[in-house]
Amino acid sequence: MRARILNNKLLLTVILAGLAVLPVVTESKFLLSMLISVFILAVYAMSYDLLLGYTGIVSFGHAIFFGTGAYSVGILLSKTKEPNLLIVALLLGVAIAVLMGILIGAVSLRVKDVYFSMITLALAELFFIVSEKWSSLTGGNDGITSIPVPAIFRDRIAFYYMALLFLVVMYLFLRRVVASPLGRTLQAIRENEHRVESLGYDVVKYKIVSLVISGMVASLAGGMWAVFQRYINTSVLSLDRTIDALLMTIVGGTGTLVGAIFGAGVVTFAHEWLSSLSTIHPIFERWLLFFGLVYIAIVMFFPKGIIGTIRDRWMKK
């Protein structure tokens, strides 16, 4: 067992080292931009994995937190024209996410399973409509353009390293959370909520804590996304954005964190590759159909996600 753990750590170290030296060995701006997207979306997917994989909560409103972080950065920096307020904007997004997590959790987590999912879906649609109609603040469908950002984030290679550092820090933070007594309680709730409740634990309180932590991390990911794109619109609050996190988590493997990172890479590169094939043949203009087929194949052959299935097979050896 110890040898396997050491092998896993060695593999992760090698991958991290490879990512660290990549800008030195390649001049591809496209590849670096793609990887920056993967790093940021991987943090977003890990935040969703804390809910789905470790707490057993299926939320269709996770984009609320991602969009909150994105709009906090976009609105504050564009209105003030002060890029040096980025840290303030990120912290503002986190503070709003904490408040929203508490409110949403208090309202919706007292109901079970599908009812909670439906409430989060309704709330997500509400926030999307409000952002669309409140165009004086959010820019509506046109969005907020030319968001001013600090000079270090305008350099692609510097941003690459900042995004990689962001991913590593958020992974270590979430790994610490799930390995703590709080994390073990959340996993117990996932496995048997009624048993945990019978032992005297306030299950709703623990779920709210999970939602708040998840929302904080998702908000930071949304803020970094706004900095990277330097443009945001209502799509950051759309249901599609939540489905992205769900797909990344399931494809990689729930309850692993590493699976969410891997899933973000698979989904992002598959999205780009399949959409680019439309220049080869018109049939690939329906690339979403092909992506659906790829997703079905992954679910069939890797029922616990790619990383989750590999981990289970490795543990059985």
Q: How confident is the model at residue 142 (pLDDT cuts 50, 70, 90)?
A: confident
Checking if the pLDDT of 42 tops 50, the result is: yes
Q: What is the pLDDT of residues 172-224, one digit of tens each?
A: 999 999 999 999 999 999 998 889 999 889 999 999 999 999 999 999 999 99
Query: Average pLDDT in the 159-170 region?
Result: 96
Q: What whole-number distance in Å separates Cα of residue 144 and Cα of residue 142? A: 7
Virtual torsion, Cα 134, 139, 143, 149, nearest 10 deg = -120
For the chain, the structural domain boundaries read 31-237
Query: Average pLDDT in the 232-246 region?
Result: 92
Packing angle, helices 181-191 and 29-55, rounded to 10: 70
Tokens 């929203």 belong to residue: 100
Q: What whole-number distance in Å separates Cα of residue 68 and Cα of residue 220? A: 9
Q: How confident is the model at residue 16 (pLDDT cuts 50, 70, 90)?
A: confident
What pLDDT, on the 0 to 100 scale, is given for residue 10? Answer: 75
Give percent of the chain with pLDDT exceeding 70.
Answer: 92
Q: What is the pLDDT of residues 295-311, one digit of tens each?
A: 788 777 776 777 777 77
Q: What is the pLDDT of residues 63-80, one digit of tens each?
A: 999 999 999 999 999 999
Q: What whole-number distance in Å separates Cα of residue 287 and Cα of residue 293? A: 10
- Cα angle value 87/93/94 (rounded, 5°): 90
Query: Judging by beta carbons within 10 Å of its beta carbon (0-12, 13-18, 19+), is residue 17 exposed, middle or buried?
Result: exposed
Mean pLDDT across the chain = 88
What pLDDT, on the 0 to 100 scale, is given for residue 317? Answer: 58
Tokens 């969410």 belong to residue: 260
What pLDDT, on the 0 to 100 scale, is given for residue 3? Answer: 47
Global pTM reads: 0.92
Q: What is the pLDDT of residues 24-34, one digit of tens each?
A: 888 888 899 99
| Residue 210 near residue 54, CB atoms below 8 Å | yes
Q: What whole-number distance in Å separates Cα of residue 204 and Cα of residue 12? A: 35
Burial 51-85 (b: 16+ CB within 10 A, else e): bbbbbbbebbbbbbbbbbbbbbbbbbbbeeeebeb
